[in-house]
Structure 1
Amino acid sequence: MVKQSQKRQISSPIDTGENTRTGTSTASLKQAILDNLYYIQGCTPELAMPNDWYMAVARTVRDRMLDHFIHALKRLQSPKVKIVSYLSAEFLMGPHLGNNLLNLGITDQTREAVKELGLELDELLVQEEEPGLGNGGLGRLAACYMDSLATMNVPAIGYGIRYEFGIFDQEIRDGWQIEKTDKWLRLGNPWEICRPETSYEVNFGGHTVQYLDDNGCFRVRWIPHRVVKGIAYDTPVPSYRNDMVDLLRLWKSEAIESFDFQAFNVGDYYKAVDEKVISETVSKVLYPNDEPEIGKTLRLAQQYFLVTCSLQDMISIHLMRGKGIETFHESFAVQLNDTYPSIAVAELMRLLVDEHLMGWDTAWQITEKTMSYTNHSLLPEALEKWSLPLFGRTLPRHLEIIYEINRRFLDGVRLRYPGDDGRVARLSLIDESGEKYVRMAHLASVGSHRINGVSALHSNLLTKTVLKDLYDLYPDRFVNVTNGVTPRRWIALSNAELTALITKSIGDRWIRYFEDEIRKIEPLADDAGFREEWGKVKRNNKSRLAAIIKERTGVVTDTDSLFDIQVKRIHEYKRQHLNVLNIITLYNRIKKDPGQEIIPRTFIFGGKAAPGYFMAKLIIKLINSVAGVVNKDQDVAGRLKVVFFPDFNVKNAHHIYPAADLSEQISTAGKEAAGTGNMKFSMNGALTIGTLDGANVEIREEVGHENFFLFGLTADEVHDQKVKGYNPRGYYDSNPHLREAIDQIRSGHFSGGHGELFEPLVDNLLNHDPFMLLADYQAYIDCQDRVSSVYRDQERWVRMSILNVARMGKFSSDRSIREYCDNIWKINPVKGE
């Protein structure tokens, strides 16, 4: 609510001398906020609730983007401009308000405007609901790439789904994860623009009919069982400090006819709205549980819904430019973000052959030139496969097309490798080793002109493991583009004090030209005064995080302790439980010798487990159970604290990354494709403890081996151990500290005597240990001791922290996008208008 003393001041129009729709002075912004509060929210300052003020400020900021946004839409109509179409099942954009203020360069003016209205900008930023349209790294990467595409003046459309309910909100009860519905749209979304006239029909089920067209050519018509439509919702994506705006276009599913009047008239009220309910289910929730058959069907339907709406939209834009369908690949470069949108290969063929009556060979050439595919995982279970019966029931025409693609493809394989039936079986788009499946990664690879991994190690392993046969066949298609993250959100927005310090020292060009400019702070690592300021920034960030931790968990943390942080999706291969074993080992050391000197540590975990992933949820329970014992034990008071930070998301990450002293990147070598959290931590001055996995390899090369805490088996050593026959119990038997920690977990020491609680986890470690925690345990403990030793020398630690930031230029998403433009899309940036 506005302060009483200000009511008279804000009740009259303000003469700003500027257009209140576009002006950026404090006075113009203030008047625009009041106008939007009155005319859009329909209330006065005296009656406004916090969300009313947020909506008024957000719409004021959006107004200042729309002029550039309209120019961007006009640019899409130009036949000379090639557009990047980024197809992704996830776009984890994060809160928009702060990011848009930063990119537009009006943060200070807006802060002053809302202050004059009796408000605090930080409180409005907290008010914003985060769109949870992603699960983690995949969606956050897509968001970073959209930011860089705009900032680098590359015309782009990000295509995704407007899930009504996003990734669940996480609560912790009695140490267990509880999933709560993410109602991100409940208070409205001021950033999106609904385009009800931009809609496309989406077919499901039914059967196909073969016929000859007027020219005697063989054709197929799809007669669907159900039809829904996709409605476009557009969100502007502004560039940093220039006039380029790109477009995020999300699709919402709706019924063709949402109300059956005849059914209503005869009293069947449920049937009257049945079609509406069923149709809207397609975009209802991010990643429905796919354990039951109906969940699998819905996930496949979602993927097809995303793909066909997006491709139909691209074709519409292309034809609107006055160009013929045969030049479609000249208008669009389609990037498949992992296997989820890989049905796009078959769908583009269907649209070209069935709808636009193009010959197969011509259509296939266009498809190959248009599509490129990013693989994000070496885990076999992440390479999607769909059973033939399910696929055929849902998309009968596409199964026919995939059969034809496969027939032609395998004919070529047989010509090149005569008599090699094993290779043919491995390369086939249809897995026939048991129950028959469609291999979606194979489809994406065969139908794309480029295939890329997301770190040097990952791309190399791709060609030797999961896509080896495809690499042997198409070596020229494979390239690497190491992931990157945007320094705008992940430093300039989320770490204001560090941003101010760097800018005071080297100017502000680093925010836009991070790769070229950030290295200029490297000499300052030897400046004692700069190191002192750097350390003060880190302490202040830790204090802010400590206050939030106390508010949300009740745990009081020591900001002078080493903040040791592991935040990421909870998964066995990411090995949060290896971190827990280290905590227990430290705890046991102190219990045996309470008087020993030890570097105080605060261990902070965060991340969500997939609702159906029992072992990951058990790891969360283990973390909280260990915390419950350690945090209450007076023998370790002031030296060890364990915190599970609930509901890790982009908003919470803004507080966590800047506060980290140590970044835990401890996945089994060869399992993490790249990672992006490792980059965000290092960009904010955290030192990394990690394995040679994913982008850790390249981060270590860039920051210097002496500024990275390395431990563990390499990917080759992991492979060799598995080939020889890995025996985890041997490590347990031979290492008394490891054995003690595991026995304590198994005995119920951390679970109130309920030893059976963690038995599944212990049994898995001792008898299987698929991610080789026990093999890496002692190396990890020894490396953590090195961390403590270095942390004692704060001058050395701060110097290493500065060098980490100074040498992270390679990991800007701007560099990644430039490599995509040069090596995959063949697109040049355009000049902003």
Structure 2
Amino acid sequence: MNRTSVTKQEFKEAIFENIKKQYRKTIDQATEEQVFQAVAYAVKEIIIDQWIETHKTYEEQDAKTVYYLSMEFLMGRALGNNLINLEVNTMVKEVLAELGFDLNAIEDQEPDAGTGNGGLGRLAACFLDSLATLEYPAYGCGIRYRYGIFEQKIVDGYQVERPDEWLKNGNPFEVRRSEYGMEVKFGGNVRVVKDELGQERRVHENYQSVRAIPYDLPIVGYDNNTVNTLRLWDAEAVQSFDLGSFDRGDYQKAVEQQNLAKTIVEVLYPNDNHYQGKELRLKQQYFFISATVQQVVKKFKQKHGDISLLPEKVVFHINDTHPSLTIPELMRVLMDDEGLAWGEAWAIVKKTCGYTNHTIMSEALEKWPIELFSRLLPRIYQIIEEINRRFCAEIVDKFGSDNERLRRMAILADGQVKMAWLCIAGSHSVNGVARLHTDILINEELKDFYALYPKKFNNKTNGITQRRFLLHGNPLLADWVTRKVGDGWITDLPQIKGIAPLADDPKAQKEFMQIKYENKVRLAQYIKKHNGIDVDPRSIFDVQVKRLHEYKRQLMDVLHVMHLYNELRDNPDMDMMPRTFIFGAKAAPGYRRAKLVIKLINNVAQVVNNDPNINNKLKVVFIENYRVSNAEIIFAAADVSEQISTASKEASGTGNMKFMLNGAVTIGTLDGANIEIAEEVGSENCFIFGMTATEVLQLQREKSYNPWDIYNNNQAVRRVVTQLINGFYAPENPELFREIYDSLLNGGGEPADQYFILKDFDAYAQAHREVDLAYRNQTKWARMAMLNTASAGKFSSDRTIEEYAKEIWKLEKVHVEMDM
């Protein structure tokens, strides 16, 4: 089979055969989950020949390849995406219908892959989709987490974390590649020995080790024969069972190595607010990096004799600081295994590695205690010490002896290993992910490094794949766009601009808003099924879904909901468009305050949704276990996109782009990519409010802001903030939300209201009044929504990847031909 020749009958027979072989059943006996497995394996059959041919072509052409290194790949479900990109979605839908099954129900049997959490991981997934569609040779490299981050349950309003058993029924698309296994070493000591020529070399001994085993997943390009690979590393014991220890009765020692391996790949982002968690996270990072670097160098050597040519054929891209150990690990391999001198090895590393910074906040830049780092990775620490020594000498050579500058810029300082600084020193390119973000890096957070390496810094504004978030996630709108402007937008999103002239066409407006309404009905049904709450699809669907962090200001959103509720209680007949506020977010298990905000949202929902006196004008919904598969339903249904981070804090955001593409109107600050979104669609077609990044940074420098001034002088603010501690939303425990109250007014060891929620509150409330007014005029609203979709062309990950490929990675496209 290949994607151009498979017939409906052949596909149907493949399903029958898979069900028979796997389950000893016929199709009429199979469950929907078993049918999913059978369909997935049939689709894999279509993919596999192209997958083989793709990598054969890369080898024949000796193509330069990017290895995109990331702790997260938030892939979502694979089946639907593969059907879309193989262009067999309609055929498979018809086959299943003939067999008495609904494709949507079969897709729902697939769990979301537990290999990512937030925007960082979803960006990586979009990039892989674009790399394959644009025919660039690429591997994604990460970890095959057995339980992902966690499955979120809401119990009595609280987030409860449960294991995400996404692999319990296996993953039909993965291929185990044990022949490419690599040994990864931890702990021990490093001894210097001399070889027969008197040259010193390092020997790592007394270490513990695990074996890294890769599992490959296909990444299918759209409308071509390219199938790239996502390589996820699993860990196994080098010796899985010590029979001697078992026979002696030491049962724990018998499985010690097995437990070490199992722990490394158990969960994404283990809770690191204790020492053991920090150690495990560092182990995870080194584990997948060491395995990847060793395997890539080994593969390169099979074809090339001269290791100095590595940068001509390989590029490692470091997605945030989690994979920063690529730099010293590649140095280790080049020096200790390949025998290169420091200068030769360092020149290769700098040419081979690129780094994307994803955060402005200095507290989020990874730092490791030297004591932990040097004990767990002794040889890597030695290499970093030498990198740091030479780097500091370079700083002194450029700027003179300035102890304060050295302390700020040193990779090793204040008892810590500073991973972002390591990435900057060891990469040839450092990029931000939105224009504002890059400007702040250059002028604020990383200005010392920009002064040292101005040519390294560049911007690559993030993007999303329209194939996942419009073609698959919103088929009604995708079909409508294709009817109006053709299907070129699927691989060239700027072509969607062709619908812009229709924004003033009454018939087109009506069609567009009808599609939005049908998508809102679909989401309302999902909410009824999962939350038991009735919401009105004709109300304004106002949505904030993303990782829960204080800088993203979900708290400001719910405080405003509390304010609207106060107004309705005071005046139930108030002229207000009915609003449904929809939240979805996971908080890190150790992030207590973020979890308390989730509890607050749910307590507010409980009060508001059960008040008959407000005439259903206000509803609040918290969607449990937010993930890619329910995100697609949410984006398609949203009227209002909440992008309200404190200006200067959000690097880019990509949820803002997904909402925009699906015809939602942004209410947001001038932060991250919101600025570029407002430029593309026009400020009159979004609702911008609040302080600018410049104003925020100035206030932070001056340290002059006092939230008590606002609390004392603003009745609406005082009322909602006081409701946090007067028992209004927690009558059984009035002190429940005291920590949130204190964070807004008293700080408690950190600046009070450090994310300027109260400072921006009035402007935010005013922007919402403007939303209310605009939505009353459905002609105006339809025009705004349609222009948002029409203006989303810039924000395709295809555009972003073209920029990376040309300007950083220097990749060439490789066209894959299939023999018919």
Give the one of 733, 737, 740 matched to 2:719. 740
Structure 1 gap ranges (5+): 1-18
Query: Is 2:411–2:419's contact at 8 Å kept on the other side of the alignment?
Result: yes
**TM-score of the aligned structures, taking structure 1 as reference length:** 0.96
Which among 445, 458, 463 is matched to residue 424 of structure 2? 445
Deviation, structure 1 residue 118: 1.9
Match of 1:236 in 2: 218
8 Å CA contact 1:88–1:160 kept in 2: the answer is yes
Aligned residue runs from structure 1 range 407-556, under 5 A: 407-432=389-414, 436-515=415-494, 517-556=495-534
Q: Does 1:296 align with 2:275?
A: no
Offset at residue 87 of structure 1 (A): 0.2
Provide Cα deviations, 1:74-110, integer angstroms capped at 9, x if missing partner: 1342463100110000011000000000000101111
Cα distance in structure 1, aligned partners of 2:57 and 2:340: 28
1:585 aligns with 2:550: no
For residue 412 of structure 1, report the CA deviation from its aligned partner. Answer: 1.5
Mapping 1:173-572, distance limit 5 Å: 173-432=155-414, 436-515=415-494, 517-572=495-550
Q: How does 1:58-207 map to 2 (within 5 A)?
A: 58-78=40-60, 80-207=62-189
Corresponding position of 2:710:
731
**Which letter maps to 2:778?**
Q
CA-to-aligned-CA distance 1:167-193 (integer Å, 9 cap, x gap): 211111111111111000001110100
Q: Which amino acid aligns with 2:568?
A: I
Equivalent residue, structure 2, for 1:14: none
Q: Secondary structure at the match of 1:465?
A: helix
1:778 aligns to 2:757 (yes or no): no
CA contact (8 A) 1:204 1:224 kept: no
- 1:98-133 C-alpha deviation (Å, 9 max, x unpaired): 000000010111111112222111111010011121
On the 8 A contact 2:133/2:222 being kept in 1, the answer is yes
Letter paired with 1:458: H
1:576 maps to amino acid: Q
**Kept after mapping to 2: 8 A contact 1:211/1:220:** yes
Map Cα deviations across residues 270-329 of structure 1 (whole Å, 9 max, x no partner).
332222122221111111111121111110000000101111111122112234212111
Q: What letter corresponds to residue 514 of structure 2 in structure 1?
A: K
- Structure 2 Cα separation of the partners of residues 184 and 489 of structure 1: 20
CA contact (8 A) 1:20 1:29 kept: no
2:252, 2:387 → 1: CA distance? 43
Q: Does 1:637 align with 2:615?
A: yes
Q: Distance in 1 between matches of 2:14 and 2:812?
A: 37
Query: Equivalent residue of 1:108, what SS?
Result: helix
Q: Distance in 2 between matches of 1:821 and 1:22?
A: 28
Task: Name the SS for the 2:154 alignment partner.
Answer: strand
Q: What is the distance in 2 between the residues matched to 1:181 and 1:328? A: 41
Say whether 1:35 aligns with 2:17.
Answer: yes
- Report deviation, 1:215: 3.2
Moved more, 686-695 or 712-721: 712-721
In 1, Cα distance between the equivalents of 2:221 and 2:64? 18
Q: Whole-Å Cα distance in 1 between the matches of residues 767 and 141 of structure 2?
A: 43
Native 8 Å contact 1:374 1:451 kept in 2 = yes
SS of match in other structure, 1:254: strand
Q: CA RMSD in A?
A: 1.3
Q: Distance in 1 between matches of 2:411 and 2:521?
A: 54
Conserved 8 A contact 2:721-2:741: yes
SS in 2 for 1:756: coil
The answer to which of 782-791 and 262-271 deviates more is: 262-271
Cα pair distance change 1:21/1:498, threshold 3 Å: closer
Tell me what 2:801 maps to. 817
Using the alignment, how far apart are the partners of 1:58 and 1:759 within structure 2? 50
The offset of 1:220, in angstroms, is 1.4
Verify the 8 A CA contact 2:2 2:50 in the aligned structure 1: no
Q: Deviations over 1:548-595 (max 9, x none)?
A: 101111110011100000001111111111111211111111111222
User: Is it true that 1:758 corresponds to 2:737 in the alignment?
Assistant: yes
1:10 maps to what in 2?
none
In 1, distance between residues paired with 2:84 and 2:372? 47
Aligned counterparts of 1:377 and 1:224: Cα–Cα separation in 2: 38
Q: Is the 8 A contact 1:747 1:754 kept in 2?
A: no
Q: Residue 746 of structure 1 aligns to a residue in which SS?
A: coil
User: 1:707 Cα deviation (Å)?
Assistant: 0.5
Q: 1:90 to 1:161 in 2, by over 3 A?
A: same
2:724·2:740 contact (CA, 8 Å) conserved in 1?
Answer: no
Query: Counterparts of 1:722 and 1:271 in 2: how far apart (Å)?
Result: 53
Q: What's the secondary structure of 1:673's corresponding residue? A: coil
Between the aligned partners of 2:27 and 2:667, the Cα distance in structure 1 is: 51
Match of 2:640 in 1: 662
- Kindly indicate whether the alpha-carbon contact (under 8 Å) linking 1:41 and 1:56 is maintained by their aligned counterparts in 2: no
Match of 1:609 in 2: 587
My pick for the range that moved more, 39-48 or 93-102, is 39-48
Shift of 1:344: 0.7
Aligned identity (percent) is 46
Q: CA separation in 1, counterparts of 2:558 and 2:101?
A: 43
Counting matched residue pairs gives 811
Cα distance in 1 for residues equivalent to 2:160 and 2:98: 41
Q: Distance in 1 between matches of 2:727 and 2:663?
A: 38
Give yes or no for contact 1:487–1:511 (8 Å, CA) kept in 2: yes
Tell me the residue number matched to 2:749.
none
How far 1:465 sits from its partner (Å)?
2.4
1:492-514 per-residue CA deviation (whole Å, 9 max, x = no partner) reads 00001001100111111111111
**Does the aligned pair in 1 maintain the 2:3–2:88 contact within 8 Å?**
no
Superposed displacement of residue 219, structure 1: 1.8
Correspondence for 1:790: 774
Number of the residue aligned with 2:605? 627
Q: Which residue type is aligned with residue 101 of structure 2?
A: L
460-469 vs 302-311, which moves further:
460-469
Amino acid at match of 1:465: E
The separation in 1 between residues aligned to 2:319 and 2:58, in whole angstroms, is 22
Structure 2: which amino acid aligns with 1:448?
S
CA contact (8 A) 1:728 1:774 kept: yes
SS in structure 2 of the partner of residue 319 of structure 1: helix
The 2-side partners of 1:731 and 1:259 are apart by 64
SS of the residue 2:725 aligns to: helix
Asked if structure 2 preserves the Cα contact closer than 8 Å seen for 1:631 and 1:637, the reply is: no
The whole-number CA distance in structure 2 between the counterparts of 1:490 and 1:323 is 44
Which runs of structure 1 show a deviation greater than 3 angstroms over 4 or more consecutive aligned residues?
19-23, 267-270
Q: 1:763 to 1:198 in 2, by over 3 A?
A: same
Match of 1:15 in 2: none
1:377 and 1:348 mapped to 2: Cα distance? 25
Q: For residues 476 and 403 of structure 1, what CA distance do their matches in structure 2 show?
A: 25
Say if 2:3 and 2:86, in contact at 8 Å, map to a contact too: no
Q: Which residue identity lines up with residue 771 of structure 1 in the other structure?
A: Y
Cα distance in 1 for residues equivalent to 2:637 and 2:428: 42
Partner of 1:6: none
Distance of 1:404 and 1:211 partners within structure 2: 19
* Cα deviation, residue 527, structure 1: 1.2
